[in-house]
Structure 1
Amino acid sequence: MAPPQYRGAINNGFELCISIGILIANVINYGVQKIEGGWGWRISLSMAAVPAAFLTIGAIFLPETPSFLIQRDGNVDEAKMMLQRLRVLKKKYRPQLVIALLIPFFNQVTGINVINFYAPVMFRTIGLGESAALMSAVVTRLCATVANIVAMVVVDKFGRRKLLLVGGVQMILSQFTVGAILAVKFKDHGVMDKEYGYLVLVIMCVFVAGFAWSWGPLTYLVPTEICPLEIRSAGQSVVIAVIFLMTFVIGQTFLNMLCHLKFGTFFLFGGWVCVMTLFVFFFLPETKQLPMEQMEQVWRRHWFWKRIVGEGEEEADQAQTGAGAIAMSAAAHSS
């Protein structure tokens, strides 16, 4: 629904709202941990019902999108023709499917949810106190929120690829630097000086900011832009499903990885960021300010995807030629 020149900024508002929500949660956690008696966690847990209530009530008044209304009230014969066309052109959507699968996968293997889930534990482990560790989680999320706002401002000016590439390099350097510091100063079971603990905090802020103005919001924007109307709902469903699945996997395995790989965990995440940055460089086309109707041309011009899209077009041409021949034959017999 958004105009092409503002589509990126508006879509990035989703990630901004997530960052604001996590920031508020971290501030609440920092505040309630000072409550005597140890029952402050009940406040943190129960406060989650507030946004859930807003979502539930808001869903009642949520309108349908114009594109859905057009589809729902369209001509039945035209819908049948479109279904036949989609079955013929299924290869045409393979680039979108690959990207809709890999973008959210790469989003999670950056290790961002390690920071979201275990930041206080990590900072406490490397030498910061209980209160300082919770405040560190607030600081990192504040950096992410500011970076989300920056992304909304620059995404339609510099484009998607540049943000993903620069953010990827920023995260690579951050992960490798943290891994090196932990390897030298913390080792396996050592104790790190607070000065180095705060240095790790600063680098983690750089990492979180790099994610928050690139891969964070663009994970939702890019699949939305590249998927045509016919498969957009399915594409977004794939994105969300992969994110939830990988969030579960990372959340369940990180502590074991940290115990076995130790500082190598950060090198592992850094390696994944290298892979995904190369993927963007070679395989992800730019979609900045491009009308949805012209998105198909992007795949036809891409050095790799044009081979796959071209195959689909050849099949479509053959199908149309065959249909035309059948129609002409039927007309000849009837005459």
Structure 2
Amino acid sequence: MKIRGVSDVEAEYKEIVAACEQAKQVKHSLKNLLKPASIPPLVIGVLLQIFQQFTRINAIMFYAPVLFQTMGFKANASLLSSVITGIVNVGSTFISIYLVDKWCFSCNVVRVVMGPLGWLIPSETLPLETRTTGFAFAVSTNMLFTSIIAQLFSTMLCTMKAYIFFFFSGWIVVMGLFVFFCLPETKGVPIDSMVERVWMQHPIWKRLF
């Protein structure tokens, strides 16, 4: 009732319960990921994890003291700066959680500029029968590219110097284009209606059906 802003939620609640019961009957969730209805949310969920890492969110968190020292900060100042960076990250998470269900415009903006929604979007798009397996792919992708960035960032920084930020900025542009053209608005759409109301109506994803 709080999320929808209405008092009559019985019908939607029953739909959720029925969908959960159907999900329990699924035996081959990995095979179901290859079905047309599962491909859009799987691709979106995986690519968002890649974009999340290639927009240097974790790299900044991992190497904040080193980055601030290279800019002339002393050891204590660089540590303090990394603490501030962490506080901003936590604050941004709460802001994105608060705004995501408030206005469609805000939802689309925070999708582009904040990392936490990389976890929210798959939960709103993956169908119940493949959600567990789909999330497994998304989380595995996130951890894989987190590891890659963590291992390569210092070498890239020493080699590319300031140009490394242009490299990551280019990925932000790619992510923005992907979000604009391929990521639909899911607010107010029941999970069991995503195929008919979103994927089959989307100018790009409808080609799968």
TM-score (norm 2): 0.83
Counterpart position of 2:93: 148
Task: For 2:191, give the aligned amino acid.
Answer: M
Aligned residue among 186, 195, 200 for 1:287: 186
Task: For 1:152, give the aligned amino acid.
Answer: I
Q: How far is the alpha carbon of 1:123 from its aligned partner?
A: 0.5
- What is the correspondence of 1:172-211 to structure 2 with a 5 Å cutoff? none
1:3/1:223 CA distance change after superposition, 3 Å: farther
Counterpart position of 2:170: 271
- What is the correspondence of 1:1-335 to structure 2 with a 5 Å cutoff? 5=4, 70=21, 74=25, 90-159=35-104, 160-165=107-112, 167=113, 214=114, 216-296=115-195, 297-308=197-208, 310=209
Q: What is the alpha-carbon distance in structure 2 between the residues aligned to residue 289 and residue 217 of structure 1?
A: 20
Q: What is the alpha-carbon distance in structure 2 between the residues aligned to residue 239 and residue 269 of structure 1?
A: 21
Q: How far is the alpha carbon of 1:293 from its aligned partner?
A: 2.0
Q: How far is the alpha carbon of 1:133 from its aligned partner?
A: 0.6
1:138/1:230 CA distance change after superposition, 3 Å: same
Q: How far is the alpha carbon of 1:158 from its aligned partner?
A: 2.3
Q: What is the alpha-carbon distance in structure 1 between the residues aligned to residue 20 and residue 174 of structure 2?
A: 40
The question of whether the paired residues in 2 share the 8 Å contact of 1:283 and 1:304 is answered with: yes
1:279/1:89 CA distance change after superposition, 3 Å: closer
Q: How far is the alpha carbon of 1:130 from its aligned partner?
A: 0.7
Q: How far is the alpha carbon of 1:4 from its aligned partner?
A: 5.5
Q: How far is the alpha carbon of 1:141 from its aligned partner?
A: 1.1
1:114/1:302 CA distance change after superposition, 3 Å: same
1:290 aligned counterpart, secondary structure: coil
Structure 2 residue runs of 5 or longer lacking an equivalent are 6-16
Q: How far is the alpha carbon of 1:243 from its aligned partner?
A: 0.7
Task: For 2:109, give the aligned amino acid.
Answer: K
The question of whether the paired residues in 2 share the 8 Å contact of 1:156 and 1:288 is answered with: yes
Task: For 2:134, give the aligned amino acid.
Answer: G
Task: For 2:68, give the aligned amino acid.
Answer: F
Task: For 1:240, give the aligned amino acid.
Answer: V
TM-score (norm 1): 0.53
Structure 1 residue runs of 5 or longer lacking an equivalent are 7-65, 168-213, 311-335
2:44 aligned counterpart, secondary structure: helix
Q: How far is the alpha carbon of 1:67 from its aligned partner?
A: 8.3
Counterpart position of 2:14: none
1:301 aligned counterpart, secondary structure: coil
| Greater mean deviation of Cα atoms: 113-122 or 269-278 | 113-122
> Counting helix residues as a fraction of each chain, which structure ranks higher?
1
Q: How far is the alpha carbon of 1:150 from its aligned partner?
A: 1.4
1:304/1:261 CA distance change after superposition, 3 Å: same
Q: What is the alpha-carbon distance in structure 1 between the residues aligned to residue 64 and residue 34 of structure 2?
A: 46
1:269/1:67 CA distance change after superposition, 3 Å: farther
Q: How far is the alpha carbon of 1:218 from its aligned partner?
A: 0.8
- Residue deviations 1:249-286 (CA, integer Å, cap 9, x gap): 00000111011111110000000000000000011101
State percent identity of aligned pairs: 39
Aligned length: 194
Q: What is the alpha-carbon distance in structure 1 between the residues aligned to residue 94 and residue 79 of structure 2?
A: 23
The question of whether the paired residues in 2 share the 8 Å contact of 1:5 and 1:156 is answered with: no
- Aligned residues: CA RMSD: 2.7
Q: How far is the alpha carbon of 1:88 from its aligned partner?
A: 11
Q: How far is the alpha carbon of 1:70 from its aligned partner?
A: 3.3
Counterpart position of 2:12: none
Q: How far is the alpha carbon of 1:161 from its aligned partner?
A: 2.4
Q: What is the alpha-carbon distance in structure 2 between the residues aligned to residue 300 and residue 69 of structure 1?
A: 23
Counterpart position of 2:10: none
Q: How far is the alpha carbon of 1:157 from its aligned partner?
A: 1.1
Q: What is the alpha-carbon distance in structure 2 between the residues aligned to residue 125 and residue 238 of structure 1?
A: 36
